Chains A and B, each alone.
Chain A
Amino acid sequence: MSVIIILIGISILVASAFLISFIWAMKDGQYDDTYSPSIRMLFEDEVKETKSEKRDKNKKQS
């Protein structure tokens, strides 16, 4: 039965780790802005198209 004592010790440790990480995230401002990160992850880096290339492309299309 004494194993319960160890288990309870571990459970409280794990729970405290989560509590501390929650406080850390709060103070770090992770919840300050919940909108822009959701958009930011969808932005793609584009291959830069210069103007002349673009015109060529337009010509080809027409």
Chain B
Amino acid sequence: MTEELIKTQEKTVCYHCGDPCDSDVIRFEEKDFCCHGCKTVFQILDENGLCNYYHLDESAGISLKSKDFGDKYSFLDNVQIVDQLLEFKNEKFQKVTLTIPSIHCSSCIWLLENLHKIQEEINSSRVNFAKKEISLIYNGDRISLRKIVELLSTLGYEPQITLKSKDQAAPNKSNTVIIKLGVAGFCFGNIMLLSFPEYFGIEASSDETFIFLFNWLNLLLVLPVIFYSGLDYITSAFKSIQQKYLNIDVPITLGIFALFVQSLYEIFTKTGAGYLDSLSGLIFFLLIGKWFQSKTYENLAFNRDYKSYFPLGIIKLVNDERIPIPIKEAQKGDQLLIRNKELIPVDCLLISENADIDYSFVTGEATLEKKKSGDTLYAGGKQIGGSIIVLVEEEVSQSKLVKLWNQDAFQQNESVSFHFVDNISRYFTPTILVIAAISSIYWMLAGSDLAVKVFASVLIVACPCALALASPFTYGSVLRVLGRSSMYLKNASVVEKIMPLQHIVFDKTGTLTNKENTGIRFSGELTEKEKAMVWSCLGNSTHILSVKIYDYLSQSHPELMKINEFEEKEGKGIQGKIGGHDVKIGSASFLNVDTSEQLHHIGTKVFVKINGQLKGYFTIDQQFRSELTAVISNLSKKYSLSLLSGDNDDQKKSWEELFPPKTELLFNQSPEDKLNYIRSLQNSGMSVMMVGDGLNDAGALKQANVGIAITDDIATFTPSSDGILAGSNFNRLPELLKFANDSKKVVIGAFGISFLYNLVGLSLAVTGNLEPVYAAILMPLSSITVVGFTTIAVNLMGRKI
């Protein structure tokens, strides 16, 4: 037992990346490495005295298994592309900022900021950890950007260079909210200070000039609060009145103006100090709510469009010469060179003899399509195998894939509004006006001069400050709690959209199944020689299943054998003769195997026959995400479900078992089909959530009321969506949705509190007893109670998940 323990502990772990070394441990300077990539990085660091990297964080490196970039970055030789990426350029220095998703620890920062020790042509580098960016200043005469990018990639920090990243000049919105908040806070504090004499009733005994000075200073201080910090509320209110719709900002603005006009009147007529403290306090608290709600996940992009997926440059062939050009300049009639695993950016005609295109990026279906010279290739496919030459048919912006983005679903301008609150404010504003009018008429009839004051007081005290704070703080807290469980929503209004959901549509591949971990098992028996025969045979096929099994068998290093009469039957299988033995590999129907006993088991099967004798079969599992059955049965209690898949329907049976009966399962769905399916559900009055992962779901994610993208690596590509959920937390989807739903109760509770305060305030106002001091106490108190209640309640609820 103890011996075993020691053995597992001693299992060699790569010194660089910390991955276990399964086979082929490379020993170098008494350290173990899992692959040559990791060893190379260690060598580079060692030679430059940068081994401190390994002491800051253990096994900090990024695994470099199967990373080979070749001349992938040759497009960076094009001056035009580089110029677009550069932020600053003169004869000596060039500055560039690159996004590197793999920055993850303090060692990363240390190494990247010490790049100048490896390449002295780099003057300095600065890492922004939050944004996962690096800013480099380098000497453009002595080193090219391509060299730097390649160096970064060798070290495992591959920058993401896309069309998108260069024309991204994201204005930092949360910054302006914070500055506005700062200004409001400054003025609020000073106004309170200058109002102290008035709170304590000193004014009567002291000098007239002081009162005069304090009041005028207050007036001066409140101007930036209203016309800078509070401007958003005023403009929003005017816009909504223009559209003949009362949103929450209308009563707020009404309150602001009531406070301001009343204070102006009192100060000018020297009858009092007005309510300037309450006014600035009100705007200050509202801005805190806004800031709380504006929490964003800066390193996550929710609005990617096709530009993020396409490379920046491609290689154009002119008289057999390779010229890198920016992708936008590819014109009809150009000849392009597409290399292995490169994305085809435009619709084009194949010139080379053969091509194997993987359209899984677009359709989700994981099979290779064979294309012959003259066939049309659509943008979004990936060439697998050797390089191919193609003729451009359409420009980038005209290709079929890009047109999907130009559909209506992507044109909608989403207005961020809280429908729930806006609905209440629709009744709130008229009610307040009616109360104000009735009470002032009463006082007028009673012959009192209080009528005008009462009218103003009602408007002042009924200002729905607490009401306006309830939902931003609740949903803001919900956002934070969900973020802790790796579910990142785009903004607070998504929480509200989750509540009325009735229907959930799932994508299959990559969403319900795990994309990466496809397991391969062999059932049956094969001798070493037979294994070698199967392996040699598979080596001739480019079918995606053949490639997978080939890789799987390669682990045991079989011996390559000569093969005769090789034949591949498309979509069925392959056969060949090796040393007089007849080898047949393929589907059950191809080999005439009786599959009745194997039942409908999840996973694709590939059978092997040698000399007409069935030897067994390989099972290629599509692994379900953990606890998928529980998730489905849990969700089906509350929502109706359906499944859309780009794949063919050969596994339909097993999926039918998983889902409740009568669930719609649709296969062979194109991206447009998915979008239209969502739209048809919506047209029948349903509120739909789409859960998907790939580019092929992009349209559906956008069209759905709530689109959640599942990703196994948060930092990498996700299509445009309302939220991102880490694949590892997929099993928690039901409880996360339930939590978001329950937050509505907190909002209602907060409304109750706000209502009680309004009751007290209004009764004071209606009876004409509202003194500025009461208002100054009552208004911040109600805001603070509501903020405290919502934050504590949501966090208590969140503790359970």
A residues whose Cβ falls under 8 Å from a Cβ of B: 1, 4-5, 8, 11-12, 15-16, 18-19, 22-23, 26-27, 31-36, 39-40, 43, 46, 48-51
For A1, list chain B residues within 8 Å (CB). 206-207, 210
> Chain A residues with Cβ under 8 A from B128's Cβ?
32-33, 36
Is B448 an interface residue when CB atoms closer than 8 A count as contact? no
Contact of A33 among B129, B186, B210, B217 (CB under 8 A): B129
15 extra interface residue pairs, beta carbon distance < 8 Å, beyond A15-B186, A35-B130: A5-B213, A19-B183, A22-B182, A26-B178, A26-B182, A33-B129, A33-B131, A36-B129, A36-B130, A39-B106, A39-B110, A40-B109, A43-B113, A46-B52, A50-B49
B110 touching A19, Cβ below 8 Å: no
Give bound CA distance, A16 to B193, whole Å.
15
Complex-state Cα separation, A37 to B175, whole angstroms: 19
Contact pick for A35, options B129, B172, B190, B210, CB 8 Å: B129
Task: Indicate if B321 sits at the interface (CB-CB under 8 A).
Answer: no
B46 interface contact, C-beta 8 A: yes
Number of cross-chain contacts by CB at 8 Å: 61
Residues of A within 8 A of B190 (CB): 12, 15
- Expressed in whole angstroms, the Cα–Cα distance for A40 and B114 within the complex equals 11
Chain A residues near B182 (CB-CB < 8 A): 19, 22-23, 26
Is B574 engaged at the interface, CB distance under 8 Å to the other chain? no
Inter-subunit contact B46/A36 (CB<8 Å): no
- Are B47 and A33 closer than 8 Å at their CB atoms? no
B112 closest partner in A (C-beta): A36
Residue of A nearest to B114 (CB): A43
11 A-B Cβ contacts within 8 A? A1-B210, A12-B217, A19-B183, A22-B182, A26-B175, A34-B130, A35-B129, A39-B109, A40-B113, A46-B49, A46-B52
Query: Contacts A26-B178, A32-B130, A33-B129 hold; do A51 and B113 have CB atoms under 8 A apart?
Result: no
Give B171 Cβ to nearest chain A Cβ, in Å: 12
Q: How far is the CB of A45 from chain B (nearest CB, A)?
A: 9
Instruction: A34 to B110: give the CA distance in the assembly, Å.
Output: 16
Residues from chain B with Cβ under 8 Å of A35 in the complex? 129-130
B186 neighbours in A (Cβ, 8 Å): 15-16, 18-19
Option from A26, A34, A36 in Cβ contact (under 8 Å) with B179: A26
Chain A residues near B127 (CB, 8 Å)?
36
CA distance A56 to B342 in the complex (A): 48
Interface of chain B residues 584 through 631 with chain A (CB within 8 A): none
Interface residue from B46, B130, B207, B217 paired with A8 (Cβ < 8 Å): B217
Q: Which of B109, B189, B210 contacts A36 (CB 8 A)?
A: B109
B residues 171-209 touching A (CB-CB < 8 Å): 172, 175, 178-179, 182-183, 186, 189-190, 193-194, 206-207
A4 to B109, CA, bound (A): 52
Taken together as a complex, chains A and B put the C-alpha atoms of A8 and B213 apart, in Å, by 10
Residues of B within 8 A of A (CB-CB), count:
29
Contacts of A5 in B (CB 8 A): 213
Q: Mark B111-141, 1 if CB is under 8 A from A, else 0.
A: 0010000000000000111110000000000
Q: How far is the CA of A27 from the CA of B109 in the complex (A)?
A: 24
A26: chain B residues at CB < 8 Å are 175, 178-179, 182
**Nearest neighbor of B172 in chain A, beta-carbon distance:** A32
Contacting pair A23 B179 (CB below 8 A): yes
Chain B residue nearest to A18 (CB atoms) is: B186
Q: Which residues of B contact A12 (CB under 8 A)?
A: 190, 217
Q: How far is the CA of A32 from the CA of B186 in the complex (A)?
A: 22
Give every chain B residue within 8 A of A46 (Cβ-Cβ): 49, 52
C-alpha spacing A4/B193, complex, angstroms? 13
Taken together as a complex, chains A and B put the C-alpha atoms of A15 and B182 apart, in Å, by 12
- In the complex, residue of chain B having the shortest beta-carbon distance to the beta carbon of A51: B47
The distance in angstroms between the C-alpha atoms of A40 and B129, with both chains bound, is 11
Residues of B within 8 A of A22 (CB): 182
Q: Which residues of A contact B210 (CB under 8 A)?
A: 1, 4
Contact between chains at B130 and A33 (CB < 8 Å)? yes
Enumerate chain A residues within 8 angstroms of B110, measured Cβ to Cβ: 39, 43
The CA-CA distance from A46 to B117 in the complex, in Å, is 11
Residues in B whose Cβ lies below 8 Å from that of A33: 128-131
Which 9 A-B pairs have CB atoms at the shortest separation, nearest pair first? A36-B129, A35-B129, A48-B49, A33-B128, A39-B106, A33-B130, A19-B186, A36-B109, A22-B182
Residues of A within 8 A of B47 (CB): 51
A8 CB to nearest chain B CB (Å): 7
Q: Report the minimal beta-carbon distance from B699 to chain A, rounded to whole angstroms.
A: 34
A20 to chain B, nearest CB (A): 10
Contacts of B49 in A (CB 8 A): 46, 48-50
Compute how far the CA of A28 lies from the CA of B217 in the bound complex, rounded to whole angstroms: 30
Expressed in whole angstroms, the minimum distance between the Cβ of B131 and any Cβ of chain A is 7
Please give the distance in Å from A55's CB to the nearest CB on chain B: 9
* B172 surroundings in chain A (CB, below 8 A): 32
Q: Which residues of A contact B52 (CB under 8 A)?
A: 46
CA of A4 to CA of B190, assembled, Å: 15
Looking at the assembled complex, report how far the CB atom of B72 sits from the nearest CB atom of chain A, in whole angstroms: 28
Query: Which residues of the partner chain B approach A31 to less than 8 Å between Cβ atoms?
Result: 178
A3 to B: closest C-beta gap in Å: 12
In the docked arrangement, what's the CA distance between A55 and B278, Å? 73
Chain A residues within 8 Å of B193, by CB: 11
Interchain CA distance A48-B46 in the complex, whole Å: 10
Whole-angstrom distance between the Cβ of B172 and the nearest chain A Cβ: 8
Q: Please, which residue of chain B has its CB at the minimum distance from the CB of A37?
A: B129
| Contact indicator B129/A51 (Cβ below 8 Å) | no
- Indicate if the CB atoms of A32 and B131 lie closer than 8 Å: yes
CA distance A46 to B172 in the complex (A): 37
A8 CB contacts on chain B under 8 angstroms: 194, 213, 217
Query: CA of A35 to CA of B127 in the docked complex: distance in angstroms?
Result: 10
In B78-112, which residues have CB < 8 Å from any A CB? 106, 109-110
* Complex Cα spacing A51 to B43, Å: 11
A8 to B129, CA, bound (A): 43
With a cutoff of 8 Å between Cβ atoms, the chain B residues found around residue A18 in the complex are 186
B275 shortest CB reach to chain A, Å: 21
Give the CA-CA distance A11 to B190 in the complex, in Å. 9
Shortest Cβ distance from A49 into chain B, in angstroms? Answer: 5
